[in-house]
Amino acid sequence: MPRRFLKRFTPSRDAIHASRWLRPFKHLLTDPRLWSPQRRTVAPAFGAGLAISFIPLPVHLLLAALVAAVARINVPTIVATVFFSNPVTIVPIFYFAYRVGTLVTGFRPQPFEFSLSWDWLQHGLGPLWQPFLVGCLVCAVVFGLVGWFAVDQAWRTAVRRRLERRRARSAAQVAALRVTETDESPLG
Q: What is the chain's pLDDT, residue by residue, as a tens digit (188 residues)?
A: 456 666 666 666 666 667 676 666 666 677 777 777 888 999 999 999 999 999 988 888 889 988 988 898 998 899 889 988 888 888 889 889 999 999 999 988 877 666 667 776 667 667 788 898 999 999 999 999 999 999 999 999 999 999 999 999 988 888 888 777 776 656 55
Q: How far apart are CA 180 and CA 11, in angstroms?
A: 48
Task: Check: CB of residue 181 under 8 Å from CB of residue 89.
Answer: no
Task: Check: CB of residue 14 under 8 Å from CB of residue 167.
Answer: no
SS3 184: helix
What one-character DSSP code corresponds to residue 30? -
- The pLDDT assigned to 147 comes to 96
- The pLDDT assigned to 1 comes to 45
